[in-house]
């Protein structure tokens, strides 16, 4: 990742003022220990940890040193944007911390705050770097009140607030920044010039608050020092950076100031910037919150966009007036300060556009390298998995094995070679896996199609068999009827012949294997050997008949009938049984075939 930097947070607890002590105010609830601010509550103790905690006794010098502001100034010299802002309720010591001691009229009488110290530090560093770089320093000073931007260093200070009645406009520039239009910017050659301008602006701030009828604590002020540096050895190397020193309006709640109704509404509108700032801090501090911070909702957050969650080094100084009466305000200040400490900025060196492009490209290269190495790791990881899989399965794929063998040389090759090799191996392994899968899939498909075809065949043959069975049944039916008819005819004939004993001789066996609609021959016809017996009986019966002609004619008639009957029964009956047997065998065979197919199909499914 790029050079990430959390917003540094310092908490300064101011001492009780003389008049507060006289009024009997106490500090019985706020204490500090090292980097911790402790809230002593009746039931449970709360403690907040910060980068820097400055107790009541801390001097301005100690604040400057503890907050490592010198390092921030060094960053500005190197080309980074830096922001220092003071946050806290009215009277908590923001202006005191930023500017220094003021008299009762608000005139700075001891310029020992962060701003004057920073300006001196800046010019000291400029002096130290004078042989390498040529620096130019520019100052501007503005305040935001009721969502309007006023120039505190306007040319005609007496009339400027009338001219600026609607405030200065703000626009979005190509460098992804909000800039205030027509804001006076002064070039300064020394720290004194800058401090002088700052004092002038601060005085104007108070004058403006009188003219516009508001307390100066209700406006936000931004003192901006812009630094341009040109490398003397390489004049193309041009850097611009800025140092923003911000004194915010009081963060007190409306209930404390006693404003109600319309005034309260006005107060909310006036502090819209502060409210938006709190929202931005809350959103940015919560990494799970993907909401876009509402920078554009207020002038202050627009101008501090780079400072909070942007590309600046940023220091927040949360000021606390430790009076017991301000307990809620102090807890709120500590909570916002804690949130701010979670915000990550990515400070970026502000080189000139050409260098910026080069640096951007370098950064891109770095990030691509990083991605590449990650991809490399990922590929190696995947390769290892594939290798393990290969080892476990003991694949016989020679190509794959040779690829894996190659992997033992991974350590000795360059990263790029490794990447190519690994990719190659992965592709090959993947393709061989794919082939195996494809083969399996085709096999399975073929088997499935075979099975479906077999089922279809089975169904078809079943249908055919059913139809054939139906036909056989019909044939059986008609034959049975014919047999019945013949039996009846036989019976009549036997009656006429007078040999009833012959009729039940050797009844024909039924084919035992045919169950349904098979031969139902109750009175089977005579078979040829029975005929001879019949003839013998007939001859015996008519042996003693005196009338030879009658005997002969009867004999001839009987013979004729027997022959005719024999022809009818033999000619039909025998083929009938053989047909049955044939059909039965066919059905049996079909059933066997079906059974075989079924069992084969079941095997294949398994």
CA-to-CA distance for 230 and 241, rounded, in angstroms? Answer: 12
Q: Rule CB under 6 A: choose which of 217, 240, 503, 583 binds ligand ADP.
A: 217
Say whether residue 583 binds ligand ADP (CB under 6 A): no
Q: Rule CB under 6 A: choose which of 79, 88, 167, 525 binds ligand ADP.
A: 88
Q: How many CB atoms lie within 10 A of CB 525?
A: 19
Query: Which residues, in sequence order, are bridge partners of residue 318?
Result: 11, 87
The Cα diameter of the chain in Å comes to 182
Query: Which residues, in sequence order, are bridge partners of residue 8?
Result: 315
Q: How far is the CB of 93 from ligand ADP (least distance, A)?
A: 3
Q: Rule CB under 6 A: choose which of 27, 75, 90, 204 binds ligand ADP.
A: 90
Q: Rule CB under 6 A: choose which of 250, 293, 309, 347 binds ligand ADP.
A: 250
Nearest CB to ligand ADP, comparing residues 21 and 598: 21
Going residue by residue from 526 to 565, which x/- string records binding to ligand ADP, judged by CB under 6 A? ----------------------------------------
> Which residues lie closer than 8 Å to 409 by C-beta, 6 or more apart?
none
**What is the torsional sign of CA 574, 576, 577, 579?**
positive
Say whether residue 60 binds Mg ion (CB under 5 A): no
Say whether residue 27 binds ligand ADP (CB under 6 A): no
Residue 170 interface partner, choices ligand ADP, Mg ion, none, CB cut-off 5-8 Å depending on type: none
Which region, judged by CB under 5 A, interacts with Mg ion, from 93-101, 154-162, 338-346, 415-423?
A: 93-101
CA-to-CA distance for 51 and 60, rounded, in angstroms? Answer: 17
Nearest CB to Mg ion, comparing residues 217 and 530: 217
Phi, psi at 8, each rounded to 5°? -85, 140
For the record, the structure tokens of 326 come out as 């301000």
CA-to-CA distance for 113 and 107, rounded, in angstroms? Answer: 13
Instruction: Region of 184 please: left (phi>0), alpha (psi -120 to 50) or beta.
Output: beta
- 3-state DSSP assignment of residue 559: helix
CA-to-CA distance for 352 and 358, rounded, in angstroms? Answer: 10
Nearest CB to ligand ADP, comparing residues 186 and 214: 214
Which region, judged by CB under 6 A, interacts with ligand ADP, from 10-18, 72-80, 484-492, 575-583?
A: 10-18
CA distances from 311 to 178, 284, 344, 348 (A): 14, 14, 9, 5
For strands 81-87 and 52-54, give the pairing. unpaired
Quick one: which of 251, 143, 137 has its CA closest to 185? 137
E strand or H helix at 598:
helix 548-605
Nearest CB to ligand ADP, comparing residues 78 and 112: 112
Say whether residue 95 binds Mg ion (CB under 5 A): yes
Residue 7 interface partner, choices ligand ADP, Mg ion, none, CB cut-off 5-8 Å depending on type: none
Residue 527 interface partner, choices ligand ADP, Mg ion, none, CB cut-off 5-8 Å depending on type: none
E strand or H helix at 239:
strand 238-247
CA-to-CA distance for 173 and 51, rounded, in angstroms? Answer: 34
Say whether residue 322 binds ligand ADP (CB under 6 A): no
Sheet containing 36-39, strands listed edge to edge, beginning at the edge strand earlier in sequence? 30-33, 36-39, 46-49
- The answer to whether the CB of 77 falls within 8 A of the CB of 302 is no
CA-to-CA distance for 167 and 542, rounded, in angstroms? Answer: 156
Nearest CB to ligand ADP, comparing residues 251 and 400: 251
Going residue by residue from 91 to 130, which x/- string records binding to ligand ADP, judged by CB under 6 A? xxxxxx----x-----------------------------
Q: Which residue is nearest to Mg ion (CB)?
A: 95
For the record, the structure tokens of 10 come out as 């310092």
Nearest CB to Mg ion, comparing residues 219 and 241: 219
Say whether residue 421 binds Mg ion (CB under 5 A): no
Q: How far is the CB of 95 from Mg ion (least distance, A)?
A: 3
Nearest CB to ligand ADP, comparing residues 90 and 298: 90
Binding residues: 88-95
Binding residues for ATP: 88-95
Which region, judged by CB under 5 A, interacts with Mg ion, from 91-99, 120-128, 342-350, 445-453?
A: 91-99
CA-to-CA distance for 494 and 524, rounded, in angstroms? Answer: 13
Nearest CB to ligand ADP, comparing residues 55 and 294: 55
- The answer to whether the CB of 168 falls within 8 A of the CB of 182 is yes
For the record, the structure tokens of 301 come out as 């957050």
Which region, judged by CB under 6 A, interacts with ligand ADP, from 21-29, 86-94, 123-131, 234-242?
A: 86-94
Print the SS3 string covering 185-237. CEEECCHHHHHHHHHHHHHHHHHHHHHCCCCHHHCEEEEEEEEEEEECCCCCC
Nearest CB to Mg ion, comparing residues 229 and 333: 333
Residue 93 interface partner, choices Mg ion, ligand ADP, none, CB cut-off 5-8 Å depending on type: ligand ADP
DSSP 311: S
Q: Which residue is nearest to ligand ADP (CB)?
A: 93
Residue 230 interface partner, choices ligand ADP, Mg ion, none, CB cut-off 5-8 Å depending on type: none
Say whether residue 221 binds Mg ion (CB under 5 A): no
Q: How far is the CB of 145 from ligand ADP (least distance, A)?
A: 15
Say whether residue 30 binds ligand ADP (CB under 6 A): no
Say whether residue 53 binds ligand ADP (CB under 6 A): no
Environment class of 233 (CB within 10 Å of its CB; exposed 0-12, middle 13-18, buried 19+): exposed
CA-to-CA distance for 297 and 293, rounded, in angstroms? Answer: 9
Q: Rule CB under 6 A: choose which of 5, 16, 17, 186 binds ligand ADP.
A: 17
Which region, judged by CB under 6 A, interacts with ligand ADP, from 11-19, 173-181, 535-543, 544-552?
A: 11-19
Say whether residue 202 binds Mg ion (CB under 5 A): no
Q: How far is the CB of 36 from ligand ADP (least distance, A)?
A: 19
Residue 355 interface partner, choices Mg ion, ligand ADP, none, CB cut-off 5-8 Å depending on type: none
Query: Which residues, in sequence order, are bridge partners of residue 220?
Result: 144
The residues that touch Mg ion, with contacts defined as CB under 5 A, are 94-95, 217
Binding stretches for ligand ADP (CB under 6 A) = 14-15, 17, 88, 90-96, 101, 217, 250, 319
């Amino acid at each position: 990742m790029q050079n990430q930097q959390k917003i540094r947070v310092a908490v300064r607890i101011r001492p009780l003022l003389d008049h507060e002590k006289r009024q009997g105010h106490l500090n019985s609830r706020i204490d500090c220990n090292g980097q911790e601010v402790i809230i002593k509550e009746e039931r449970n103790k709360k403690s907040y940890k910060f980068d820097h905690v400055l107790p009541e006794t801390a001097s301005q010098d100690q604040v400057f040193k503890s907050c490592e502001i010198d390092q921030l100034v060094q960053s500005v010299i190197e080309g980074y944007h830096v922001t220092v802002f003071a946050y806290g309720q009215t009277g908590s010591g923001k202006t005191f911390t930023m500017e220094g001691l003021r008299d009762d009229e608000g005139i700075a009488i001891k310029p020992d705050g962060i701003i004057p110290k920073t300006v001196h530090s800046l010019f000291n560093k400029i002096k130290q770097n004078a042989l390498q770089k040529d620096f130019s320093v520019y100052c501007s000073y503005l305040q935001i009140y009721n969502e309007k931007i006023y120039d505190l260093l306007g040319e005609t200070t007496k009339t400027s607030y009338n001219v600026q009645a609607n405030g200065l406009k703000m626009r979005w520039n190509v460098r992804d920044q909000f800039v205030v239009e027509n804001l006076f910017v002064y070039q300064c050659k020394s720290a004194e010039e800058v401090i002088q301008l700052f004092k002038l602006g601060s005085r104007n701030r108070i004058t403006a608050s009188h003219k516009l009828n508001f307390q100066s604590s209700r406006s936000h002020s931004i003192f901006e020092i812009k630094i341009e540096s040109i490398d003397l050895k390489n004049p193309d190397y041009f850097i611009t950076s800025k140092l923003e020193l911000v004194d915010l309006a009081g963060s007190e709640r409306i209930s404390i100031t006693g404003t109600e109704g319309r005034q309260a509404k006005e107060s909310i509108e006036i502090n819209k910037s502060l409210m938006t700032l709190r929202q931005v801090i809350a959103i940015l501090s919560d990494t799970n919150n993907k909401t876009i911070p509402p920078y554009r909702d207020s002038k202050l957050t627009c101008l501090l966009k780079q400072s909070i969650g942007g590309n600046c080094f940023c220091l927040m100084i949360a000021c606390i007036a430790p009076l017991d009466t301000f307990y809620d305000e102090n807890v709120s200040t500590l909570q916002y300060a804690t949130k701010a400490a979670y915000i990550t900025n990515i400070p970026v060196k502000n080189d000139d556009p050409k260098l910026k492009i080069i640096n951007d490209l370098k950064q891109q290269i770095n990030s691509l390298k990083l991605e590449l190495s990650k991809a490399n790791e990922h590929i190696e990881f995947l390769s290892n998995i594939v290798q393990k899989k290969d080892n476990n399965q003991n694949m016989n794929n020679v190509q794959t094995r040779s690829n894996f063998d190659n992997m033992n040389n991974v350590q000795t090759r360059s990263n790029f070679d490794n990447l190519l090799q690994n990719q190659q191996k992965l592709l090959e392994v993947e393709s061989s896996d794919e082939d195996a899968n494809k083969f399996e899939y085709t096999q399975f498909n073929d088997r499935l199609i075979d099975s479906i075809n077999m089922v279809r065949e089975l169904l078809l043959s079943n249908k055919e068999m059913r139809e054939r069975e139906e036909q056989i049944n019909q044939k059986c039916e008609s034959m049975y009827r014919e047999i019945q008819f013949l039996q009846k005819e036989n019976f009549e004939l036997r009656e006429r012949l007078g040999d009833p004993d012959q009729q039940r001789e050797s009844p024909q066996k039924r084919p035992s294997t045919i169950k349904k609609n098979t031969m139902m021959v109750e009175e089977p016809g005579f078979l040829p050997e029975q005929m001879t017996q019949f003839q013998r009986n007939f001859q015996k019966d008519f042996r003693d008949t005196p009338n030879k002609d009658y005997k002969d004619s009867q004999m001839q008639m009987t013979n004729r009938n027997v022959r005719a009957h024999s022809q009818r029964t033999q000619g039909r009956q025998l083929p009938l049984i053989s047909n049955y047997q044939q059909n039965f065998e066919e059905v049996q065979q079909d059933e066997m075939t079906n059974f075989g197919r079924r069992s084969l199909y079941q095997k294949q499914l398994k």
